[in-house]
Structure 1
Amino acid sequence: YDLGKEVGRGHFGHTCSAVVKKGEHKGHTVAVKIISKAKMTTAISIEDVRREVKILKALSGHDNLVRFYDACEDALNVYIVMELCEGGELLDRILARGGRYTEEDAKAIIVQILSVVAFCHLQGVVHRDLKPENFLFTTRDESAPMKLIDFGLSDFIRPDERLNDIVGSAYYVAPEVLHRSYSMEADIWSIGVITYILLCGSRPFWARTESGIFRSVLRADPNFDGSPWPSVSAEAKDFVKRFLNKDYRKRMTAVQALTHPWLRDEQRQIPLDILIFRLVKQYLRATPLKRLALKALSKALSEDELLYLRLQFKLLEPRDGFVSLDNFRTALTRYSTDAMRESRVLEFQHALEPLAYRKMDFEEFCAAAISPYQLEALERWEEIAGTAFQHFEQEGNRVISVEELAQELNLAPTHYSIVQDWIRKSDGKLNFLGFTKFLHGVTIRGSNTRRH
Structure 2
Amino acid sequence: MKIKIIDFGTAQQYKVGGKSKMEERYGTPYYIAPDVLNKSYNEKCDIWSLGVILYILLVGYPPFNGSEDKKIIDAVKKGVYTLDEPEWDDVSSEAIDLVKKCLTYDPEKRISASEALEHPWFKKFAKGEKVKKSLASKALSNLKNFRAEQKLKQATLAFIVSQCLTKEETDKMGEIFAAMDKNNDGMLSKEEISEGYEEHFGYPIEDEELDSIFSAIDTDGSGAIDYSEFLMATMNEQQLMSKEKLKQAFKMFDKDNSGTISKQEIREALGNLDEEVADKMISEVDDNGDGEISFDEFERMMNMVAGAKSKGEL
Same fold (TM over 0.5): no
Relative contact order (C-alpha < 8 Å, sep 6+): which is higher? 2
Which bin holds the TM-score, normalised by the shorter protein? 0.3 to 0.5
Q: What is the TM-score when the length of structure 2 is the normalising length? A: 0.38
Structure with the largest fraction of helix:
2
Structure showing greater radius of gyration is 1
